[in-house]
Amino acid sequence: MLVSHELRTKAREEFVDITRTVEEDVRSSGLKEGLCVVYVPHTTAAVTINEDADPSVKEDILRQLKVLVPRDGNYSHGEGNSDAHIKSSLLGVSQIIPIHEGRLVLGTWQGIFFCEFDGPRSRRFYVLLK
Ligand code: ZN
């Protein structure tokens, strides 16, 4: 079962918590045991799993990614968004989460984040339940 979701990001760089949306997909699918794949079909966005209890964690990740991959680096790509492409590859465009007894197997502090690196714009992500 493949579920498509649209979202509208609000900043150039932003982590959007999509945990509840993915949990709802698992619930409504009725799947009890299996795998959940969250996939982002973009070259300047990503999906990651990290702490969603303390919002300063995602802010730290975004800030440190800017240090690692500065926007005005010496890049060949002419669109001015090379940093966003690199960040997308660093974090990756998919995550796999086990499903057990009808629920995502996430740790207490873990959440799933859609990672925008070249917004704001309309985006999409897919949830594959198998
Ligand atoms: Zn580009």
The C-alpha atoms of residue 35 and residue 14 are separated, in whole angstroms, by: 26
pLDDT, one tens digit per residue, over 63-79 is: 999 999 999 999 999 89
The CATH number for 118's domain is: 2.60.120.460
Q: What is the pLDDT of residue 75?
A: 96
- Determine the distance separating the centroid of ligand 1 and the alpha carbon of 103, expressed in angstroms: 37
Q: What is the pLDDT of residue 64?
A: 98
Averaged pLDDT of the chain: 97
Q: What is the pLDDT of residue 120?
A: 98
pTM exceeds cut of 0.75? yes
How many structural domains is the chain composed of? 1
Parent domain of 88:
2-129
Half-sphere exposure of 6 (CA within 13 A, CB side): 3
Q: What is the pLDDT of residue 128?
A: 98
pLDDT, one tens digit per residue, over 93-124 is: 999 999 999 999 999 999 999 999 999 999 99
State residue 15 phi and psi, 5-degree precision: -105, 125
- Determine the distance separating the centroid of ligand 1 and the alpha carbon of 79, expressed in angstroms: 5
